[in-house]
Amino acid sequence: MIYHNNNDNQRHFCWTEDNRLQGFMDNRNTAFYNYDASGERNMKITGHTLQTTQNGEPVYYPFLENPVLYTNGLITINEHGYTKHYFTEGNRVCSKIGGGFANAPANPLATQVAPMEMAYNEQKSFQEDGIMRTFVECIDKEAAFNFFNKISNSVQNSLNLNDPEPAFYYLTDHLGSSSYITDGQGNVTQTISYLPFGEEQVDLVHFNPAYETPYKFNGKEKDEETGFNYFGARYYYDYLSIWLSVDPLMHKYPHLSPYVYCLNNPVRVTDPDGRDVEITRNDEDKKVTVRANFYYSKKDIERKEGFSVAGAMQQSLDSWGTDIKTAVNETEGMSNYSVDVQFNMIDVDKLDNGMTAKEMADGDRIGNAIIHDETLESRIQATVGNNKYLRVNMNNAASDDGVYFGTTTLQGTIKHEIGHFFGLWDRAGGNGHAPYIKNDLMSYDVNTRGNAVAPFKRVLDFTGLKQAGTKSILINKNKREPK
């Protein structure tokens, strides 16, 4: 427990063993936060702190009554209804107030997950006990509850509604921070401006809108009860310009404080999830950073093939890294740019957290999963010349389906497949392929493929990164090289 005393407003913070904020109470507000197995917040319960007097002294008790359920990244539910969120390339562009399912083609509750192993009342008692223990053992206060059934009642009520769904659109700055919120008619309903480290300088609400966004600095949710910004892996306090817990990747930045935000350079640098730093192109910094994480299970993808898929993949990624640096420095206006390529191969078997490669990738903004796809079992083995190839599904990449990883006999094969991850098409000509380029890495000339310099120059071109300015590009199936 961490205890702060600020102008007689006593603030109590309870942390989990993996440094996640779980309980909070001050003289006005109280909150409990719950997280799923991957560490993402899936519920928060807030309320007011009750005050009474005992022997002439004020006494405070937490009262939890307002639940918010994060069913996934696209829908949040509270006691008043549900809100749908829309994204493009990882950026929130719209929030829409749910209008109900009375005229839906199917009952959204008709298909349910497997039932809980314990009875509902037993599960409820188990949750109450866990929350109570958090406040008693950490803050030495017994909490009162009035939130159970509110979420389920809210969902049940929506089944009979068929109301209009007002939409609210986000106009953001170069960091992804919400600057203006507009309604469906283009009227500005909320105006927000920030100091450099994210503290709101102006936050004005216009026309008494039905929706006031909590998604503010960097597009992250700001908890009204604490004033903290939830980034996923950590909480950020813009008033003090620091993280509230140590950077999980502090070993990568030994020259920095593990609490410092974005290298103390928040105008040009963003931190998408609180775990790592994504530095956008900037003329002053003269730097380009390329990052991606590749999750795999060695015992899964190498169970039949007899050669090191992960090892061959790492060699090809290293080769791509060398070619990327050359491509950037050969691009006009970027000859003196430094290039930092961070490709990480992560064997989930060594993480010992019980999560699959796909589950790890789904929780990582720059994550990709290399998995042995059983649906492609009949096509796992193919022969090109005298070489065997493994077909695996490269989840979250810009490739459509799967990719072939060959033995190291044909060095260009894996490098070619990694090109699809960057949104590059096969250069074969005809049959819907991009125009043929002789000896190009992305061509079908298997034995004469070149390096990745020219292909990555095309990446710089179609993403707009060749032009000066601050940019952050996330390549996926929606961001590809035009044919």
Separation CA 100–CA 263 (nearest Å)? 45
Summarised one tens digit per residue, pLDDT across range 259-273 is 888 777 787 666 655
Tokens of 268: 């040009």
Q: Coil, helix or strand for 199?
A: coil
pLDDT grade for 286, boundaries at 50, 70 and 90 = confident
The answer to whether 312 and 297 are in contact (CB under 8 A) is no
How many other CB atoms are there within 10 angstroms of residue 47's CB atom? 22
List the beta bridge partners of residue 371. Answer: 393
Separation CA 421–CA 425 (nearest Å)? 10
Separation CA 389–CA 348 (nearest Å)? 23
Across 339-345, average pLDDT: 87
Q: Positive or negative, the Cα torsion across 143, 147, 149, 151?
A: negative
For the chain, how are helix, strand and coil distributed in percent, rounded to 5?
20, 35, 45
Separation CA 320–CA 331 (nearest Å)? 16
pTM above 0.95?
Answer: no
Summarised one tens digit per residue, pLDDT across range 368-411 is 777 765 554 444 344 334 444 444 444 444 444 445 554 444 45
The answer to which of 18-22, 218-222, 274-278 has the lowest mean pLDDT is 274-278
Residue 286: CA atoms inside 13 Å, Cβ hemisphere, count? 9
Radius of gyration of the chain (CA): 26
Across 171-181, average pLDDT: 89
Percentage of the chain beyond pLDDT 90 is 31
pLDDT grade for 431, boundaries at 50, 70 and 90 = low
